[in-house]
Amino acid sequence: MLDKIKQTDPEVYELIEAEIARQKGGLEMIPSENHTSSSVLEALGSRLTDKYSEGYPGKRYYAGNQVIDKIENLAINRAKKAFSVPHANVQVYSGSPANTAVYLAVCELGDKVMGLDLPDGGHLTHGWKINISGRYFKRVPYHVKEDGYIDFEEVRALAQEHKPKLIWCGATAYVREFPFEEFAKIADEVGAYFVADIAHIAGLIIAGAHVSPAPYAHIITTTTHKTLRGPRGAMIMVTERGLEKDPELADKIDAAVFPRGVQGGPHNHQTAAIAVALGETMTPEFSEYGKQIVANAKALAAALIDKGVKLVSGGTDNHMMLVDLTKYGVGNGIFVQEALDMAGITVNKNTIPKDPGSPFYPSGVRIGTPAITTRGMKEKEMEQIAGWIAAIIEEVKDYQLPKGKEARAAYLKEFDDATSKNETILSIKKEVTQLAENFPLPQ
């Protein structure tokens, strides 16, 4: 697969091979990551990347797009079928541009928008203060309750008070099933657009492992590389309810992507890879896969709790869980992330609701099962992995962040030096490698 680059650029070849070796020998457990099929990779590496295709099928600014039109229409039709929607835009480069295009399509600068607050598990593009969504629009954040579930009393009260133009349902670290119907009712009460950002759960929805927002939302956005198991890309879909609210909504969405919005010519190799990935989802095997993701997450969560690890909301309904480390101190997520990485288990530090730390030094870690499920692991392996995670948390629980930046940098270096020699972590690393070798990456 890499024969040509091995000859022409051995330096890059060696780096690619090193990353492949890292993935093969460890467990990728960041919830937003997955392993694509070889078919998706072939589409991404095809000559389709050479073609410029500004515009939409049948309405291009450049000649020579006869084949590209067929590829994009195929991706569109597969998306519409997979999610039961009447309109899909498959050109969006990634999730953040997709969400920005939604604002441009239905909002004016300064309009009020509601979304789950970032420290409570929300996403940057749902109105966080430093993001364009929070700088150009008036953010009205809602939160989760002590039990980790969305506070719908607050959502309704805020919506009635502020009358937002748009309400988001979606998150980057929410472990419970999204209550789309409840959001739709509140949005209807105040006349708001209801947008479901299903970036994390798109594959689960297609597999029947999570309720679909299609009967409830006006607009659906999603990335294509998480549980959908496709390339890094995105889609924006308009539902029947969306067209009922505004018959021109589909046209407004497309125009907000191009030409009046966030990007120029589409990445045709990416569009083809999305089509391939969507085709892969329309099989009984994918349905089994999506359900196994959730089964694995529930098994892993239960095993972690049994070993004394505290989880936000006490478990999970989807593909991820959020470990609460506050009983060990403030900002301990960085220590657990780095120690697990030393052992070949890749997770990410993450804020938890009402986190006493910061996004750079949060008090939690986020763990997910999509990638290891792709490799064929099941409940038995989740018990083993939970034991490793709990043991490593125990090894690093006594580390405490100093307050000053310079002191922290020195302390983290000392931490890395110590954990790189920690016998328990080194022993677990060998066991992780043995397990990973028994479950190869997709061929």
Residues 70-102 have pLDDT tens digits of 999 999 999 999 999 999 999 999 999 999 999
Task: Examine the pLDDT at 202 and tell me if it is beyond 90.
Answer: yes
Percent of the chain having pLDDT more than 90?
97
Please list the residue range(s) of the chain that carry CATH number 3.40.640.10: 44-281
Q: Catalytic one among 81, 156, 232, 307?
A: 232
Average pLDDT over residues 176-191: 98
Q: Catalytic one among 42, 54, 151, 338?
A: 54
Please give the pLDDT value at position 359. 87
DSSP H stretches of helix in 32-147: 38-44, 66-83, 95-106, 132-135
Question: Active site includes 366?
Answer: no
Q: What are phi and psi of 349, to 5 degrees?
A: -60, 145
What's 144's DSSP letter? B
**Span 106-146, pLDDT tens digits:** 999 999 999 999 999 999 999 999 999 999 999 999 999 99
* pLDDT tier for residue 317 given thresholds of 50, 70 and 90: very high
Exposed, middle or buried, 42 (CB in 10 Å: 0-12/13-18/19+)?
middle
**Span 414-435, pLDDT tens digits:** 999 999 999 999 999 999 999 9
Q: Is the Cα dihedral 177, 238, 94, 135 positive or negative?
A: negative
Low-confidence winner among 202-206, 336-340, 410-414 (lowest mean pLDDT): 410-414
Exposed, middle or buried, 11 (CB in 10 Å: 0-12/13-18/19+)?
exposed
Among 235, 203, 206, CA closest to 219: 235
Q: Whole-number mean pLDDT of the chain?
A: 97
Task: Examine the pLDDT at 403 and tell me if it is beyond 90.
Answer: no
Question: Active site includes 54?
Answer: yes
Please give the pLDDT value at position 158. 98
Average pLDDT over residues 383-410: 94
Q: Catalytic one among 28, 117, 197, 324?
A: 197
> Hey, what amino acid is at 359?
P
**Span 207-216, pLDDT tens digits:** 999 999 999 9
Task: Examine the pLDDT at 312 and tell me if it is beyond 80.
Answer: yes
Number of neighbours of residue 262 by Cβ within 10 angstroms:
18
Fold of 44-281: Aspartate Aminotransferase; domain 2 (3.40.640)
Q: Catalytic one among 78, 176, 226, 252?
A: 226
- Round to whole Å and give the CA distance between 36 and 431: 25
Task: Examine the pLDDT at 270 and tell me if it is beyond 90.
Answer: yes
Among 268, 181, 259, CA closest to 216: 181
* pLDDT tier for residue 405 given thresholds of 50, 70 and 90: confident
**Span 353-378, pLDDT tens digits:** 999 998 899 999 999 999 999 999 99
Percent of the chain having pLDDT more than 70?
100
* pLDDT tier for residue 443 given thresholds of 50, 70 and 90: confident
Question: Active site includes 47?
Answer: no
Please give the pLDDT value at position 2. 87
Among 390, 400, 424, CA closest to 310: 390
Task: Examine the pLDDT at 406 and tell me if it is beyond 90.
Answer: no
Question: Active site includes 52?
Answer: yes
Look at the block and give the residue holding tokens 């594959």: 203
CATH superfamily ID and name for 292-437: Aspartate Aminotransferase, domain 1 (3.90.1150.10)
**Span 144-165, pLDDT tens digits:** 999 999 999 999 999 999 999 9
For the question of whether the overall pTM of this predicted structure is more than 0.85, the answer is: yes
Question: Active site includes 3?
Answer: no
**Span 275-296, pLDDT tens digits:** 999 999 999 999 999 999 999 9
Chain centroid to Cα 55, Å, comes to: 28
Question: Active site includes 380?
Answer: no
**Span 15-62, pLDDT tens digits:** 999 999 999 999 999 999 999 999 999 999 999 999 999 999 999 999
Q: Catalytic one among 52, 93, 149, 411?
A: 52
Please list the residue range(s) of the chain that carry CATH number 3.90.1150.10: 292-437
* pLDDT tier for residue 1 given thresholds of 50, 70 and 90: confident
